[in-house]
Amino acid sequence: MRTIRWVAIALVALLVLGFLARRFGSASVQPGSTLLFELSGDYVEAPDAPLLAQLLGIEQRSLLGTLSELRKAERDERIAHVVLVIHDLKIGWAKAQELRDAIGALREKGRHPIA
């Protein structure tokens, strides 16, 4: 019984470490880089899915997370251009306006957004 418990704990630990390595792995970004940002589908007005849900493959795209990523691109001096690939969005006018404002902020900071 103890062996099964330790194997289960080790398996969960490996899954968590693998997820963290994939999610927080560092990538090198050169000055003058272009960010490719895809927008599609529905965005919920809630925080990102909890860690356990993400480990189980349940993903929900949050508007807050998307706007946060656009703000990070706005502050990152290494990014020169942002290419937005917009597919079929299932959002209302208010969410569209928030995305539009975030894209306008990118333009004001000199990131040259292109849709």
How does pLDDT run across 2-43, given as a tens digit for each residue?
778 888 888 888 888 777 777 666 667 788 888 898 888 888
Q: What is the dihedral of CA 102, 27, 86, 60, to 10 degrees?
A: -80
Side-chain half-sphere CA neighbours of 6 within 13 A: 3
For residue 50, what are the domain limits?
A: 29-114
Residue 12 lies in a domain: no
Assess if residue 19 is contained within a domain.
no
Specify the CATH number for the domain of residue 66.
Answer: 3.90.226.10
Q: How many domains does the chain have?
A: 1
Residue 93 is predicted with a pLDDT of 92
Q: Tokens at residue 4, please? A: 């099964």
- The pTM is what? 0.64
Whether 68 is covered by a domain: the verdict is: yes
| Residue at token pair 């990538």 | 27
